[in-house]
Each structure stands twice: as C-alpha cells, then as structure tokens.
A and B are shown apart, each in its own frame.
Chain A
Amino acid sequence: MTALVEVIDLAKVFDVSAPWLNRVLEHKPRQAVHAVDGVSFSIQKGRTLALVGESGCGKSTVARMLVGLYSPTKGVIRFDGQDAQATWRSNGGRALRRRIQMIFQDPYASLNPRWTVHDIVAEPLREHALVRDESALGDRVSALLHQVGLAAADRVKFPHQFSGGQRQRISIARALATQPEFLVCDEPTSALDVSVQAQVLNIMKDLQRERGLTYLFISHNLAVVRHVSDEVGVMYLGRLVEWADKDTLFRMPRHPYTRMLLDAIPDIAMTGRARTPVQGEVPNPLSPPAGCSFHPRCPHANERCTRERPALLDFKGIRVACHAVAEGRIGSSV
C-alpha cells in the first residue's frame, strides 16, 4: 500500500516573547513554544489516523500544518508523493488545496452567519471553478446536502436556523464539495451532544466507505477515536509517544502515558470501578522537562529518562518512544 500522507520530523515553534520594548526595558528573554517537536507518521489511502492527547499537546497544530494554515518550522509533509510545502508555493497549490479539506471543531464559528447554506457550500466550488453554471451549482449543492442528510430546501436558510449537529453537517458538505481525497477533522464532534455526535460519526464513516476518503481525526476522546480510527497516534507535549494499530493500542498499550490515558477515561461499561487516578498534570510547554517530557508523571521513570529523550522505535509494528519499553523494564502485559 502507498501512503497518501507522509509527515517526516515535522516541527512548529511559536515565538511567544514579550514585545520588543518590554524585552529591552525589563530584560525579558525571548521565549519559544515547541508546539510540535519532531513528529513523523504516515496515513495509508482510505484509512483513518487519529491523533489523541490532552489540551496543548500539539495535535491541532499538526492538523493546521497539514492543510497549510501554518507553515512548519522544520520537517516535510508529503501528499501523494509530492512535497506539499513546495507545491503550495508553486502553481500546483490550488490543485492541492482542492484535494485536502478541513472540518473544524466549532460549527458555530466556522460558518459565516451572513451567508446562506447555498453560498457556504458553493463557495469552494466557485473558488476552484469546478462548476461554472449557476443552475448546475444549485444541483451540486443539493446533492452535497443530501449526502450529509440535509434537505435541498435547506439551501436558502442561514446557519442560525440549524442546530449544532446540522451545522456540522453543513461543514462536512462544504468540505466534500471539491471532492477531496484527504480530510483533516479537528475535534469535529467535541462541541456536540452524544446523540448528535453519533449521527455525525456515522455520516463520516459512511462517506469514507463510499468515497474512499482518508481522514486525519483529531480528538481527545479515546472512545470516539476507538470508534472511527484504524490507527492511533498518541501525542504528549508536542511529540508522538506511541503510534499503533487501533486494536493493538487499546488491547495492549505500551507507553506509560497511553496506559494512563486509557485508565483515566470514565466509561459506561465500568460502573463503580475503583481505579488509581493519575498523578500530576501536563507541564508548562514553555519549559518542558528535560529528557522524556513525561518523566515527572511516569511511574517507571529512572535516571536515563530525566536525561535522554527517547526516540520513536518500532516494536513489531507498534512504535513507542519510551526508554522503559525499549529496555524491557515494562512488560508487554498490562
């Protein structure tokens, strides 16, 4: 199989220094956040990779770099064999944008309130000059709305006339308008109620089956990730700590952080279960700990972990960045 999307050693550094005058007068240093720090992964055509992690772990930054909203500080993004960075700058940029689309988290903020649904969904078609004839445009928009379970009559309405779940369907219809191959979904259901979330997740899975779409699915909800993904990457403070097949990851998590996350999640199947809550919190990304950034919270940390940063190593298809796993200090049993 060929990888549709390949990301190699991707990094993004944000400058969060105080303004120049403050730096001069108050002797404040320059400060930088390594939001994404050397992440590599690939997604096969027609599959879903989910990135999970807590707030501030850099998962949304990865998503934004993949669609070209941020330019990476370092690293390469390959889409269908071509260097996406170079292509965006060249004449082929438009064609590439047509093939990659994004669905955002907040369906209240990602739709223009002054535009009708028709205008919203038709915009990418007009922008990319895919449909030139106005009546054909109407038919296309109706067909797209129909695909996400909305009626053609909804075209004349405005976003405020829809509920959160319906708005998210409109964003999906808009994203599908250019017939993309790769969809980046940044927490598409986090703002929705569970029954509505189920509707949206089902639509996304149906569309993937029908059109062979490839998804990058960003979420902090592991149960949702388990439902939609084929592979899962776990991020912690800007780095990928584990990347494995979904079933393997959920059955046999290797990295201590993955285990902690899996153990922390309340699940309806586990009524009254007693468990040991995780200690500590995510450190400040401005001054991440030396060595493995998880070591202050890790029950298996030793002296090497505080010093040396572990690389993502392959253990029979499961990629884990952990010294304890590499040295065999943590067994494969859970």
Chain B
Amino acid sequence: MPQPLLEVSHLRVEFPTRRGTLLALDDVSFAIAPGEILGVVGESGAGKSLTGAAIIGLLEPPGRIAAGEIRLEGERIDNLPPERMRAVRGRRIGAIFQDPLTSLNPLYTVGAQLVETIQTHLPVSATQARERAIALLKETGIPAAEQRFDHYPHQFSGGMRQRVVIALALAAEPQLIVADEPTTALDVSIQAQIIALLKRLTRQHGAAVMLVTHDMGVIAEACDRVAVMYAGRIVEVGPVQQVIHHPSHPYTAGLMGSIPSMNIAHERLLQIDGAMPRLNAIPNGCAFHPRCPQVFERCRRERPDLMAAEATQAACWLVGSEQAVR
C-alpha cells in the first residue's frame, strides 16, 4: 500500500470540565490515500466534526488532543506550534464549513479574500493572484467572475457563497480538503451541484477529501470509502458500497434501515430505539449495547476494537462469532 496522505492513529480528544473530563473522541484511527474521498457519517454528537477540527488544528478550547497522532505525508501535524500549523492550514489542508455565510468575511469583497489567501500561501504578485482568483471563481462555476470578484458575500446566494468557499479552500492547491457538512445548509437542487463540483474539482486538482456529513445520500454519491462514527469512536469503516449494502455493525445496519429511500417503499422504517448516549454517560463495554438488538453478555463487559469483517472493518463482537449480523 502506498503511503497514505493522512494518517490518524489512536486519536483521543478530551474536554476537561469542572465535573470531570469528557472523552469526545476515543481511539479513532483511519487513513486517507492521495486523491481519495473518505466520508465520515454519524448522528449529531458522534464526534465527526470534532475529528475534522482536530485534523485542521482548530479544536475549540478547552478541547485538546490527549493521545494519538495525526500525520500528513508521514509528518506529524498534531503537535505543531500554532504558527507552523497556520502555514499547513490553507496551504496543505483546505477547509470547507457548513455555513457559507459565516465562513466569509462580510466586510471584504470576495475577490479580496481570495487574493489574500492566495498571497498568504503562494509567492505570487498581486496581478497574478487576481488572475488566479478569477480563474478559481470561473472554475467553481460562478458566472461573470470578473464582475463578481468585486462583490461582497451578501450579494451572493447560498449556493454561490459555497462555491466561493470551495474556491477559497482550493486557492493554494492543498493536498487534503476537510469538508464539514458542506451541503447541509443548501437546498437539494443546489446540494447536487455542489457535490458534483466538489467531486470534479478534487479529481482535477488531485486533492483528497474528508467529507463529514450526516446525509448518507451524499456519502453514497460522492465517496470512495466511508467511516461510521458512534459516541466518539469509529464503529465501521470500508468501501461505500459494502458499508451501505452489507453492513457488518448493527448500528450501521440500523442507520441504513432508518433512512427512507426514494426507490424502495417500506411500510415502517427500521428504528433504533433510544438515543446516542451523552458524553458523560457512555456505557461500559460497547457504547452501542443499550440500543443494540443483538446484544449479548460480552458486549456489556468488553469494548470491541475494529476487526476485519467481510469487506469492511467493524468494531463489534458479532464479527467472527457464529451469530451473523442481520
């Protein structure tokens, strides 16, 4: 296997509070190959955005990385001093956030923000930066890019703003883009355009993407591999087709069954009873055991690690045991 572009191993993120330390991410390990699109799914509070924030070095204090490593092309980036991390962020890792309005500065024109980003990271003159900015806007499908260059973010619609944010993320030709719910704030017809754009541009620029979303449809559409998170851990990771159609973890199976499909009509949706545990009350053993339909004695006692299942890796004691996952 070639060297992965991004390698996260045994990442542990803690939030110290007055009432004890909350463990938000626990033993999260995964890798992204160059040019690959990895999806990260899970419900609110599963820790998927936090994983993205840890990678780009933007954990909100008091959150901190307590253990584990994050390596970009073999080089550790989780313990870099803030100044050096700033140079990595933007230049080598681009970020796209959920709300395109809050990720742009309302007081500067879109063009000024692009030029600033380009000149911060690349040794180019002001004219060259301007040319590049306009080329990027054109590439992201913004009509009349030369005029739009001098417009302010409020003059753009939601979909157009997200295109600008993608242009910003791509400005310094990063190797990795961390996209945190890039389409959640958008309407469905715009969502499809943005996903297609993100896919096309990352292919063209050869960038790898970590796509964080709660929308399985988006994952199915865009990703090569997918990691499913639950209560701060990865419970299953594997090729997208396998995870969606032949899940090995009962949580993944429940998650897939609970999504209404456009093509298959169900009288009742499969439902997982209960809700995700709070960070201060994560159950012993497997965190999913109180909601799991196939729970047995060992699940309550011992916590499973990721194990090779059929074509995926799943953290479940059912894997390899006689009982198959339904």
Contacts and interface: CB of A to CB of B under 8 A. Distances in A.
Interaction A to B? yes
Interface of A: 54-55, 163-166, 193-199, 201-202, 205, 220-224, 226-227, 250, 260-273, 275, 277-279, 281-282
20 contacts: A166-B275, A194-B216, A195-B258, A195-B272, A197-B258, A198-B258, A198-B259, A198-B260, A202-B269, A221-B260, A223-B262, A261-B188, A266-B221, A267-B220, A269-B261, A270-B221, A270-B263, A277-B192, A277-B195, A278-B193
Contacts of A202: 268-269, 271
Interface residues on B, range: 35 or more
Contacts of B257: 198
B43 interface: yes
Interface string B173-201: 00000000000000111111101100000
B241 interface: yes
B21 interface: no
A223 B261 contact: yes
A268 B261 contact: yes
Contacts of B254: 195
8 shortest A-B CB distances, which residue pairs? A266-B217, A198-B258, A193-B43, A227-B260, A198-B269, A54-B187, A264-B192, A266-B221
B281 interface: no
Contacts of A226: 260-262, 265
Given A221-B260, A263-B192, A271-B221, 18 more contacts: A164-B44, A193-B44, A193-B276, A195-B255, A198-B269, A201-B269, A202-B268, A222-B188, A222-B262, A223-B259, A226-B261, A265-B262, A266-B195, A266-B220, A268-B216, A271-B240, A275-B196, A278-B192
Interface in B195-250: 195-196, 214-222, 240-241, 244
B189 A260 contact: yes
A269 B187 contact: no
A197 to B, nearest CB: 7
Nearest to B160: A281
B187 A268 contact: no
B40 interface: no
A213 B262 CA distance: 24
B79 interface: no
Nearest to A189: B260
A287 to B, nearest CB: 14
A4 B115 CA distance: 60
Given A54-B187, A54-B189, A227 B221 contact: no
B232 to A, nearest CB: 16
Contact of A266 (B218, B258, B275): B218
Contacts of B273: 199
Contact of A194 (B188, B190, B255, B275): B255
Given A202-B269, A223-B261, A281 B159 contact: yes
A195 B231 CA distance: 14
Given A202-B269, A277-B196, A223 B260 contact: yes
Nearest to A52: B188
B159 to A, nearest CB: 5
Interface in B15-74: 43-44
A313 B271 CA distance: 40
B324 interface: no
Contact of B271 (A199, A250, A266, A267): A199
Nearest to B44: A193
B144 interface: no
